[in-house]
Chain A
Amino acid sequence: MTELNLIIAGVGGQGSVLASHLVAMAAIRDGLRARVGETFGAAMRGGAVASHVRIGEDAPTPLVPEGGAEIVLALEPLEGLRNAVKYLAGGGILLTNTRAWTPVDVNTGRAEYPSMETIRGAVEKLGGRVIAIDATSLAQQAGNVRTMNVVMLGALAGVDKLPTSPESLKRVIRENVPKGTEEVNLRAFELGFSAVREK
């Protein structure tokens, strides 16, 4: 496969932008074209963030068309559902972390947070399927909870739909994470990779 439309969704502060750049860099290294459309602006924490990654020989526009994403990679389940509803293609996969970052709307009792079963049911209705892992715990296990985004990248490599090899991805991770955190990040990657392989 040489083409992929992928959305990486999460909450500001979780590292979805870096994750999307790492995927694009790996693709470029493998000789493909890549584009990442980003939605972020205010530096504030806690807002909904999504990066649209388009990989292929010819990647013309920054945003994935509606219903055009083969994979939605979610660092946070609600954000996964939000993007899956709009962008997931029939037969697509929502690959999500199970750990919720509750929005104020829910914290203050004005809205309800959908359970994992609700999310699974909803995505199946849309003709997709859900793979869920507790990436936050795996990141803690790797040695730093902030590597959760890299755990999810490992999981992404694990579903075997990326046009780039896990090796290229690991190489760009090593080169682009803060100095001194390379080993923790690669451990995180492996934990995510095996978690999906075991499913």
Chain B
Amino acid sequence: MGIAETIAEDSPGKRVLLMGNEAIARGAIEAGIGVAASYPGTPASEIMEALALAAPRLGFHAEWSTNEKVAFEVAAGAAITGIRALTSMKNAGLNWVMDMFMTLVYGGVRGGFVVAVADDPDAHYSSNEQDTRFAAFYGEIPCLEPADQQEAKDMTRYAFELSEQLKLPVMVRSATRLSHASGDVELGKIQKLDRKPAFDKHYELAYRWNVYGPPGPVEKHRWLHSRMPLAKRAVEKLPWNKLELKGKPKLGIIAPGLGASYARDAVRRLGLEGKVAFLKVGTPTPLPERMVGRLLKAVKTVFVVEEGDPLVEFQVKALAKDLNPRVKIAGKLTGELPPVGEINSDIVANALAKLAGIRRRRDRAREFIKAEVGELVSPRSSTLCAGCQHLGSYWALKQALRKLGGRVPIVNGDIGCYEQGGYGIFAKAIKPSFSTESVRYPIESPYEALDTNYIMGGGVGLMQGEFHAGYRDGAIVAVAGDSTFFHACIPAVINAVCNLAKGVFLVMDNSWTAMTGHQPNPATGITATGERVRALRIEDVAKACGVDFIRTADPFDLGATQAAIEEALKHEGFAVVVARRVCTLQAQREKKFVGKKMVVSPEKCTSCRLCVSFGCPAITYKDNKGGIDFLLCNGCGMCAQVCPTGALSVVE
């Protein structure tokens, strides 16, 4: 019985193993959700993947939207009509949503609206470590922060009720170690809400859904403020906010979400059970202030343990000023916990031991052995897949730039599998340079093609600024994938056309949102629930945006792709090259990949190592000869085009 059955199964009381993201999805299902919309992003994607599995069976709408902003609006629209709705995203996704987020709260919602966000402390899968709980604080809405999978489910379910009680969106904040971890969860009943969507433009507030409608935004802001006392009262009664305070302990812990799990583990490992006060927090904003107050007045030191930035710590400090200014507050602001990266029970236990005055002995002999043995562990650098079509695109791009790119070309990168092309995977320690002139660096390793890379859609905008600044020391290029193109690049493409930028925009179209686990996007021709739809072609969109130079090539054909890019580099305006071939991994899964038979002839190898610089993980290099690891090789045939002597070749 797979997740498809479990997620939609109405068997209250049954205990099952659910991933944090699946638990969030299950919570929404138990709450009787009507509309779910999301855009993929690790570590949040499985929320929507699980919902999409259940949607056809339970009869609600689930979609992968074009980007997070659209997803948020789709869900908000449903909530305005009184239907329960959820949108989910990764940390960075919320940045795309902020305009609507900060304004929707002025009138709130009618049906329960839950915004589930998965943060990524330690940036395992992200370009930053941002703590999105601050957005809930900023937008003056409640944030629920689960500590384990059971809470993830139960809190999400409750979040819909709270949302309807306050008439505001409610955030559920997860993090990598919760979203991408599994735990046992007791299922609850699936509610069947037979709600009819309704629309009333003056529902309980005049011009409720039009922020400008009289009496205007300031009065609606006042209404938003009127919600907070209600929220504060509600959170004091929640089972997930719990104060354990017995006797007269010196030390108290305040810990929201995963922090509470780590702190609980640390307390147990140090034998401090019953000896410290413990406030487990389920709502980092608004805090259960009365409970915090009782703790602040009872102890000498409070240790705040939270995953992310010190949101709770700031608030506790502010409360302490009035309630007990002499209490010491320890946490990330005071250096007891590291201000960056993620925490874990080892880190928390060490900090807690210090605060509790417990000496923990270091086993130096073992540390020495570990360091010595650690030297034997070879790295396993992350690469593109064997036979990945992006390898061909990058090879073609690098060859074309070598010929026509000038002295110091700039390749602006973007986010997706292809960002693996971004940094020399083997080049670990680079010395910074302090030059004021453009500097050319030899590309020594296969994955070193990208010079800038920040966020989705960022590259094609940056390239225009570089051009308008007058940069002429080399060609200016941007790359992006198909999902990224639809998500974030279209306004920038229009901008390039309408403001006369020059540059080459290489779109690496593999028809899927591959990096996040192969979700469909507008180029795929399929919906989240598997219905066939029209697949949009990037060339058509670019043409409609006014681009007049557009070429398409198959990245498995290195020569043709290189020729298309060279032509684009010579073009006098903004040029789009679409390198199109379906993701190799996905084609194999769908049994549509036809590999060629490859043969290695070592006697023809001249040890030039060009094959190695191509970067396919199936390429081997031993005893000064290039070769193929046939366990990994898919028979794409690209290496045979790279090898100048026929040592690697395709059997015709």
The interface of chain A, by Cβ under 8 A from chain B, is 11, 21, 24-25, 28, 33-48, 59-63, 65-67, 78-79, 81-82, 85-86, 90, 101-114, 118-119, 122, 125-126, 175-176
Chain B, 337-396, CB within 8 A of any chain A CB:
344-346, 349, 366, 369-370, 372-374, 376-386
Q: Which residues of A contact B370 (CB under 8 A)?
A: 85-86, 126
Counting from the closest, the 3 A-B pairs by CB-CB distance are: A62-B181, A103-B380, A111-B378
Q: Given the complex of chains A and B, what is the CA–CA distance between A21 and B182 in angstroms?
A: 8
Q: Which residues of A contact B377 (CB under 8 A)?
A: 78, 81-82, 85, 114
Of the A-B pairs whose beta carbons lie under 8 Å apart in the complex, a sample of 21, sorted by A's number, is A28-B15, A37-B181, A39-B180, A40-B180, A41-B180, A42-B125, A43-B417, A44-B384, A44-B420, A46-B385, A60-B148, A60-B261, A60-B265, A66-B346, A81-B376, A82-B377, A104-B381, A108-B612, A109-B622, A114-B378, A122-B373
Q: Given the complex of chains A and B, what is the CA–CA distance between A119 and B16 in angstroms?
A: 37
Whose C-beta in chain A lies nearest to the C-beta of B371? A85
Q: Is the CB of B17 within 8 A of A34?
A: yes
Q: Which residues of A contact B383 (CB under 8 A)?
A: 44, 46, 104
Q: Is the CB of B378 within 8 A of A63?
A: no
Q: A41-B125, A44-B417, A78-B380 are in contact. Are A36 and B181 (CB under 8 A)?
A: yes
Residue in B181, B380, B617 whose Cβ sees the most chain A Cβ within 10 Å: B380
Task: Check B253 for interface membership: any CB of A closer than 8 A.
Answer: no
Q: Is the CB of B261 within 8 A of A61?
A: yes
Q: Which residues of A contact B149 (CB under 8 A)?
A: 35
Whose C-beta in chain B lies nearest to the C-beta of A78? B378
Q: Is the CB of A28 within 8 A of B17?
A: yes
Q: Is the CB of B181 within 8 A of A175?
A: no
Give min CB distance, A38 to chain B, whole Å.
5
- Count: A-B pairs, CB below 8 Å: 169
Task: Check B124 for interface membership: any CB of A closer than 8 A.
Answer: yes
Q: A24-B182, A85-B370 are in contact. Are A62 and B376 (CB under 8 A)?
A: no
Q: Given the complex of chains A and B, what is the CA–CA distance between A113 and B425 in angstroms?
A: 18
Q: Given the complex of chains A and B, what is the CA–CA distance between A114 and B617 in angstroms?
A: 19
Q: Is the CB of A44 within 8 A of B181?
A: no
Q: Is the CB of A21 within 8 A of B17?
A: yes
- Size range of the chain B interface in the assembly: 35 or more
Give min CB distance, B264 to chain A, whole Å.
5
Give min CB distance, A36 to chain B, whole Å.
4
Chain B, 87-131, CB within 8 A of any chain A CB:
124-125
Q: Which residues of B contact A90 (CB under 8 A)?
A: 366
Chain B, 132-189, CB within 8 A of any chain A CB:
148-149, 177-178, 180-184
Task: Check B56 for interface membership: any CB of A closer than 8 A.
Answer: no
Whose C-beta in chain A lies nearest to the C-beta of B426? A110
Q: Given the complex of chains A and B, what is the CA–CA distance between A11 and B631 in angstroms?
A: 14
Cβ 8 A contact of B514, one of A40, A43, A60, A85: A43
Q: A28-B17, A43-B585 are in contact. Are A108 and B417 (CB under 8 A)?
A: no
Give min CB distance, B566 to chain A, whole Å.
28
Whose C-beta in chain A lies nearest to the C-beta of B120? A41
Q: Which residues of A contact B516 (CB under 8 A)?
A: 42-43
Q: Given the complex of chains A and B, what is the CA–CA distance between A29 and B181 in angstroms?
A: 18
Q: Is the CB of A63 within 8 A of B177?
A: yes
Q: Given the complex of chains A and B, what is the CA–CA distance between A114 and B380 in angstroms?
A: 13
Q: Is the CB of A106 within 8 A of B378?
A: yes
Give min CB distance, A45 to chain B, whole Å.
5
Give min CB distance, B366 to chain A, whole Å.
8
Task: Check B1 for interface membership: any CB of A closer than 8 A.
Answer: yes
Q: A42-B417, A60-B265, A63-B344 are in contact. Are A36 and B379 (CB under 8 A)?
A: no
Q: A125-B373, A126-B370 are in contact. Are A107 and B620 (CB under 8 A)?
A: yes
Q: Which residues of A contact B369 (CB under 8 A)?
A: 125-126
Q: Which residues of A contact B178 (CB under 8 A)?
A: 62
What 20 additional pairs, Cβ within 8 angstroms, besides A39-B124, A42-B382, A44-B417?
A24-B182, A34-B184, A35-B181, A35-B182, A36-B17, A39-B180, A41-B124, A42-B515, A44-B382, A48-B380, A60-B265, A62-B181, A63-B344, A65-B349, A85-B373, A107-B617, A108-B612, A110-B426, A114-B376, A175-B1
Q: Which residues of A contact B372 (CB under 8 A)?
A: 125
Q: Which residues of B contact A44 (CB under 8 A)?
A: 382-385, 417, 420, 515, 585
Give min CB distance, A141 to chain B, whole Å.
18
Q: Given the complex of chains A and B, what is the CA–CA distance between A66 and B349 in angstroms?
A: 12
Task: Check B442 for interface membership: any CB of A closer than 8 A.
Answer: no
Task: Check B240 for interface membership: any CB of A closer than 8 A.
Answer: no
Q: Given the complex of chains A and B, what is the CA–CA distance between A45 and B631 in angstroms?
A: 13
Q: Which residues of B contact A82 (CB under 8 A)?
A: 377, 380
Q: Is the CB of A105 within 8 A of B380?
A: yes
Q: Is the CB of B380 within 8 A of A59?
A: no
Task: Check B471 for interface membership: any CB of A closer than 8 A.
Answer: no
Q: Is the CB of B183 within 8 A of A36?
A: yes
Q: A38-B182, A175-B1 are in contact. Are A103 and B378 (CB under 8 A)?
A: yes
Q: Is the CB of A65 within 8 A of B346?
A: yes
Give min CB distance, A50 to chain B, whole Å.
11
Q: A42-B125, A62-B177 are in contact. Are A85 and B378 (CB under 8 A)?
A: no
Q: Write the B440-464 contact mask toward A (1 if CB under 8 angstroms, else 0).
A: 0000000000000000000000000
Task: Check B432 for interface membership: any CB of A closer than 8 A.
Answer: no
Q: Which residues of A contact B269 (CB under 8 A)?
A: 65
Q: Write the B581-599 contact mask toward A (1 if CB under 8 angstroms, else 0).
A: 0000100000000000000
Whose C-beta in chain A lies nearest to the C-beta of B363? A67
Q: Is the CB of B378 within 8 A of A59?
A: no
Task: Check B630 for interface membership: any CB of A closer than 8 A.
Answer: no
Cβ 8 A contact of A122, one of B376, B417, B620: B376
Chain B, 239-284, CB within 8 A of any chain A CB:
261-262, 264-265, 268-269
Q: Is the CB of A45 within 8 A of B585?
A: yes
Q: Given the complex of chains A and B, what is the CA–CA distance between A118 and B376 in angstroms?
A: 8
Q: Which residues of B contact A33 (CB under 8 A)?
A: 183-184
Q: Which residues of B contact A101 (CB under 8 A)?
A: 631
Task: Check B2 for interface membership: any CB of A closer than 8 A.
Answer: yes
Q: Which residues of B contact A119 (CB under 8 A)?
A: 376
Q: Is the CB of B426 within 8 A of A105?
A: yes
Q: Is the CB of A24 within 8 A of B17?
A: yes
Q: Given the complex of chains A and B, what is the CA–CA distance between A55 and B379 in angstroms?
A: 30
Q: Given the complex of chains A and B, what is the CA–CA distance between A21 and B180 in angstroms?
A: 12
Q: Is the CB of A41 within 8 A of B344?
A: no
Q: Which residues of A contact B425 (CB under 8 A)?
A: 104
Cβ 8 A contact of B42, one of A34, A36, A42: A42
Whose C-beta in chain B lies nearest to the C-beta of A29? B15
Q: Is the CB of A79 within 8 A of B619?
A: no
